[in-house]
Chain A
Amino acid sequence: MDELVLDGNAAAGALAEIYGDDMTTVLAECASCGRVDPIGGLVAFVHAPGIVLRCTACATVMIRIVQTPSRTRIDVRAKRIPPPPETAR
């Protein structure tokens, strides 16, 4: 049985909370293979302790998001994406 594969739109709410704007059409470039996709088109894994968005070509981690009771944290590995606000790092 393969896992349910979602796309980056599954992270739209969490990303909007962090950036204060819709991020799904923003382009992200894989730091490993150079593939460029809109964030909404990345491969998303949400059945985990956090949200992981990966490259559609090589599965390299591009964005990780963890929502704790007190804050939302993001780690951006992909290029081209605007840096997240200080409070979310």
Chain B
Amino acid sequence: MPQPFITRGFVGKRQDAGGAAGRIPPGQHLVKDFPVLSAGPTPRADLRTWTFRIEGLVKEPAQWSWDEFRELPAQDFTKDISCVTKWTKLDTHWRGVSVDVLLEHVDLDRSAAFVTAFSDGGYTTNIPLPELLNGQAFVAYEYDGKPLAPEHGGPARLVVPQLYFWKSAKWVRGLRLMERDQPGFWESLGYNNHGDPWKEERYSGD
């Protein structure tokens, strides 16, 4: 009579994974905490001089002060995130401004195909423009209902949850529209230009 054991085993497995089956990309493991990864010292932004800018292949660059940015229509987002250092965190809660909303304020040149996100401290990361559109990406300033902490990228970070989290630039200050892909801080030293966790696009040329 193996039937009951099979059923029990199946239920038990689902409980162990917290209903996470099918949501953890290959090679990743689930975490409950929120690990802090940093390539440099945590900048302390002065909100009186902070700006967010869209530049590059646009007719006129757009720029917002902190107060102006907070006036933009915001949304709540619940997303699973995966770091290339192999942790995945499910159902993270953010509030911020969709990149779609930001791009409504500029006239994109037809040749714009890639984006470099740039941050305080000099960090950059490159992302294909289509990955930022249609509600996929946002600039977050709240996490779990509180202002985004500096160690997690506050006052504001880019979040592109469908790509490895190094693409979700902390302390982001703007997006630069470009015709050609320009490898960023990690991409220029062997990390993947695209970075899809479901395809395990961790490195380039490996």
Q: Which residues of A contact B (CB under 8 A)?
A: 1-3, 43, 45, 47-50, 52, 54, 59, 61, 64-66, 68-71, 73, 75
Known: A69-B206, A70-B206. A52 touches B191 (CB 8 A): no
Query: Nearest Cβ in chain A — how far from B193, in angstroms?
Result: 14
Contact call A48/B37, Cβ cutoff below 8 A: yes
Q: Which residues of B contact A59 (CB under 8 A)?
A: 40-41, 121
How does the 8 Å CB contact mask read for B28-55 relative to A, with 1 for contact and 0 for none? 0000000111111110000000000000
Known: A49-B84, A49-B166, A61-B122. A66 touches B190 (CB 8 A): yes
Q: Which residues of B contact A68 (CB under 8 A)?
A: 190, 202-203, 206
Known: A2-B42, A64-B189. A49 touches B85 (CB 8 A): yes
Residue among B122, B151, B189, B191 having the largest count of chain A Cβ atoms under 10 Å: B189
How does the 8 Å CB contact mask read for B97-130 relative to A, with 1 for contact and 0 for none? 0000000000000000000000001100000000
The answer, yes or no, to whether B188 is at the interface (CB within 8 Å) is yes
Contacting residues of chain B (139-185) with chain A, CB-CB under 8 angstroms: 149, 151, 166, 185
